[in-house]
Each structure stands twice: as C-alpha cells, then as structure tokens.
Amino acid sequence: MEQFFTTLGIWLGALFTFAIFSFLYKDNPFYKTAEQIFVGLSAGYWFVYTIFFILIPNLYNPLTQDFSANWIKLIPAILGLMMLMRLIPKTEWVSRFPISVIIGTTSGVFFLRYLKSDVLNQLTATMINPFIGDSWVTVIGRLMLIVGTICGVIYFYFSKKHTGALGVSAKIGIYFLMVSFGAAFGYTAMARISLLIGRLQFLLGDWLGIIHP
Amino acid sequence: MKRKLPLLITFTVGIILIISEFIPHKPFGQLSGELEIWFLIISGFAILLGQLSLFKVNIIKIKFKQRDWQFYVVTLLSFIFMVTLGFLWGTGNSAGILGHGESISGAMGYKPFDFLFHNVYQHLQATMFSLLAFFIASAAYRAFIGRTVESNLLLAAAVLVMLGNTTFGVLLTGWLPDSLKFLHLPNVSEFIMTFPTTAGQRAIMIGAGLGIIGSSLRIILGIERSYLGGE
C-alpha cells in the first residue's frame, strides 16, 4: 500500500510540475488550476501550522495545564478574538486595540534590534584598520569596504543636494550599490536555475527513472 | 476612545520594551517577555484572519460569478481539504482530532496532511519559483544592457559572481600561474562578495536601520497613525 502512495505522490508531483511549466507556452486552464491549488494549499498549510505550532503551545496548553499561573494569557486571547472582528465591517474598529499591541511591540523590538544589528554592529565592523592584512588584495578589499560603506551611506543622505564633494561621494556610493545589486542578481539567477535543475532531476530521475543520482 | 486608547496602548507597549533593554529587572524584564508572547499569540490570530479573509474574498467572487470564478472554487476546495486533513490527523508529532492516525500514516508513509505537503505543495512551490529562471533571463537582458557605468558595473558583478560559482569559471582561468591566482574567477567572485558587495549591503543596512528606528519612534510617540486607518 505504501508503494502505491509513493507512486501516487510522484505522479502528482510530475502532473503539477507540468501544469505550472505549461505557463511558458501561455496562460491556460491547467496552469490556473495548479496556481489556485497552490494558493489554497498554502493558506491551508499556514492555517494548520498557526494553530498547531503557535496557538496550541503558547495559548491552549498553558491555559489548560495550569490556569491559575497563566490566566494572564486570556488577555492576548481576547485581543486575538478582537482581531477577528475585522471580518465584520461594523465591528472593524475593535481590531484597532490588538493591532496597537502588535504595532507597539514591533516598534519597540525593531527600534532596539535595528539599532544594535543594523547600525551599531555594522558601524563597528566597518571601523577596521585596512592596512593589517595578509596580502595586498586584502588591503585593497578592506579599503574598498570602508570607502564603499561611507559613500553608500552618504548616497542615502537626502537632506542636502548631492553636489560638490557630497555629490562625488554619493556617485561612488552608487557604484558600490550597483556592484552589490549585480552580485545579488547573480546569486538570485543561480538559485532559480538550481531550482530548475532540481525539477528536471525530479522528472528525469524520480518520475521517469532515466537518470540515477 | 476609538483612536486615543489604541495610541496609548502603542505608546505604553513600545516604551516598556525599550526601557526593558536598559533596565532588565522587575517589572520591566518580566513585562517585556510576557509582551513578546502576547505578540506571538495575537500574530497567530492575525494569520488566521488572513486565511479567513482569503476565504471570504473567494466566496464573494464565486457568489457574484466574477471572471474565472470556477478557479476560485478550486482554491476554496484545496484550502478546506488541507485544513480538514490537518485537523483530523494532525501534522508531524502533533495529534489531530482522530489522534495520530497510525494506520493511515502507515499506509501512506506520511500523515495525510504531510503527504499533501510533500507531494503536492512542495512540488508546486519549487516549480513556481523555478519558473522564474526563464523570466529572470529576459529581466537580465534588460538590466544588463551596458549603457552607463552603473549598468556596466551591475553586469560585470553579476557575470563574474555567476562564472566564479560554476565549474566553467574554474575551467576558464584555471591555467593562470600562482602569481596571478587573484584573477582566478572563483577568487574574483569571492573578492566581490567579501568587499564591495558587503560595503553596498552595509550601506543599505545602515540606511534602512536608521529609517526603521525613525519610523518606530514616530509610531511610539503617536506622530505616525496611519495603522489606525481612516475615519
């Protein structure tokens, strides 16, 4: 029986792979059906995941196992239910209270997190001695790192017109940003091609059995 | 009350979390930990709200027989199917209403919910993203037309990084003598990733970080109120 379901799983996978790839020809009912199945399954997956891995361990289990120690969790539970009131137009305003808790928490957490990780840590990592390196390539690289970071930050300074020294620095900043975007693009392209190779391996290996890993 | 109380809640919660970083003692340390769990629980309900909203929108489209309404029936059916399987037999180590479903899991090799996840959802997701490999080629053609210094830099960085990570790149410059090893394509690719790319990413991170800090302060102090909606 398990063999049957394994084969069924492979055939389902192959069928949906072809349905999605059919979009390369043109938009068609097979693609649209597969696309909608993907949307539905995705929503269903996150629905179940949220209940089993967020709400049950953080809300249901603490309340049912030791209510007297965890009764305070009733507050976020009520706020969560208030959030669902957004589905009804007349009671939509009720959802502002849980939203304000989420926004307040996010703002507080992000304020500290980004101050530490994205500003202070990055500044600290840039304050290096460029001339301590095992080769001249590293020294050049470190100089580029310092100049690139400073000029890149100058490019994001929009309170003054980018002319004169500021303009030249901002221009150098753009060059570094372009190299960064190019490298990111290259990596993205490679990741997508790697996924495509994975799909072909599935079709030719698991489904047709032509190639063997 | 409909507007002032939410603003007060946002201010109080935000300030408690910031203070708790500097005074990690009672009551602030405890409060901040509890608030983060509250955030998780309310976010869970927010995710459910998203799924229910999707359900509602699709029902409306079907009810008014909007264009391609038949496909929205498929969305709803697959959503209901996935949720039903999850609730009946659970997922992973979590039991559903009917327990772990040992017999059905034994026959299928997975729990029904996980079977659908591995054999349909994952294939659909991987194929959907791999489809972008074709479109990224046309995007690359447009982005890489070397008209300006900036676009040439973009082109050079992308090509060098891609070549440096393939066996073809290794083959192209593998013959270089040791004194010119820094020009070997994998080394060039590594250099680009370690220095100029890091510099660019760092500048973006610092810029975005400062922006987020500013926005957070505006929200906590009640200057930014767009999240409360109109009215």
B171 near A CB under 8 A: no
- β-pair partners for B91: B94
The tens digit of pLDDT for each residue in B179-213 reads 888 899 999 999 999 999 999 999 999 999 999 99
Rounded mean pLDDT of B158-181?
Answer: 90
B7 — pLDDT class (breaks 50, 70, 90):
very high
- For chain B, what is the mean pLDDT? 90
Look at residue A92 in the predicted model and tell me its pLDDT: 86
Label residue A138 exposed, middle or buried (CB < 10 Å: 0-12, 13-18, 19+). Answer: middle
Q: Which of B5, B41, B127 sits opposite A55 (nearest CB)?
A: B41
Q: What single letter denotes the amino acid at residue B221?
A: L
Segment 66-95 of chain B within 8 Å of chain A by CB: 68, 71-72, 74-83, 86-87, 90-92, 94
Q: Per this entry, what is the length of chain A?
A: 213
pLDDT at B47 over 70: yes
Q: Are B133 and A158 in contact (CB under 8 A)?
A: no
pLDDT at B230 over 70: no
Distance from CA of A122 to the nearest CA of B (A): 6
Q: Any idea where the domains of chain B sit in the sequence?
A: 1-63, 67-130, 134-219
Rounded mean pLDDT of B138-146?
Answer: 74
Three-class secondary structure assignment of B66-102: CCCHHHHHHHHHHHHHHHHHHHHHCECCECECCECCH
B181 near A CB under 8 A: no
Alpha carbons B39 and A98: distance in angstroms, whole number: 9
Q: Are B68 and A27 in contact (CB under 8 A)?
A: no
B229 — pLDDT class (breaks 50, 70, 90):
confident
End-to-end CA distance of chain B: 13
Residues of B in contact with A177 (CB under 8 A): 200, 203-204
Alpha carbons B100 and B195: distance in angstroms, whole number: 52
Alpha carbons A54 and A77: distance in angstroms, whole number: 12
Q: Which of A16, A204, A98 is nearest to B46 (CA)?
A: A98
pLDDT at B27 over 70: yes
pLDDT at B58 over 80: yes
Look at residue B36 in the predicted model and tell me its pLDDT: 86
Residues of A in contact with B13 (CB under 8 A): 100-101, 104-105, 108
Size of interface A-B (CB pairs under 8 A): 424
Is residue B166 classed as helix, strand or coil in its secondary structure?
coil
Distance from CA of A189 to the nearest CA of B (A): 6
Look at residue A119 in the predicted model and tell me its pLDDT: 94
Asked if B90 and A52 come within 8 Å (Cβ–Cβ), the reply is yes
Look at residue B185 in the predicted model and tell me its pLDDT: 93
Averages of pLDDT over each 10 residues, chain A, 213 residues:
89 96 93 96 95 94 93 93 90 90 92 93 94 88 96 93 94 96 90 91 93 77
Residue carrying the six token digits 């910031």: B18
* CA B64 to chain centroid: 33
Is residue B176 classed as helix, strand or coil in its secondary structure?
coil
Look at residue B215 in the predicted model and tell me its pLDDT: 95
Residue-wise burial string across B194-223, b where 16 or more C-beta atoms lie within 10 A, e elsewhere: ebbbbbbbbbbbbbebbebbebbeebbebe
Q: What is the ipTM for the molecules in this complex?
A: 0.84
Segment 111-170 of chain B within 8 Å of chain A by CB: 113, 115-121, 123-134, 136-137, 140, 143, 149-151, 153-162, 165
Alpha carbons A108 and B14: distance in angstroms, whole number: 4
Look at residue A75 in the predicted model and tell me its pLDDT: 93
The tens digit of pLDDT for each residue in B114-139 reads 999 999 999 999 999 998 888 887 78
Structure-block tokens of residue B8? 């007060």
Look at residue B109 in the predicted model and tell me its pLDDT: 87
pLDDT at B227 over 90: no
Taking CA atoms, what residue in A is nearest to B183? Answer: A137
Alpha carbons B10 and B14: distance in angstroms, whole number: 6
Alpha carbons B157 and B173: distance in angstroms, whole number: 17
Residue B194: φ, ψ to 5°:
-80, -40
Alpha carbons A203 and A101: distance in angstroms, whole number: 48
Asked if B200 and A177 come within 8 Å (Cβ–Cβ), the reply is yes
Alpha carbons A31 and A17: distance in angstroms, whole number: 10
Q: Which of B88, B87, B91, B80 is nearest to A41 (CA)?
A: B80
Is residue B203 classed as helix, strand or coil in its secondary structure?
helix
Asked if B77 and A12 come within 8 Å (Cβ–Cβ), the reply is no
Residue A162: φ, ψ to 5°:
-80, 80
Q: Which of B9, B46, B10, B82 is nearest to A54 (CA)?
A: B46
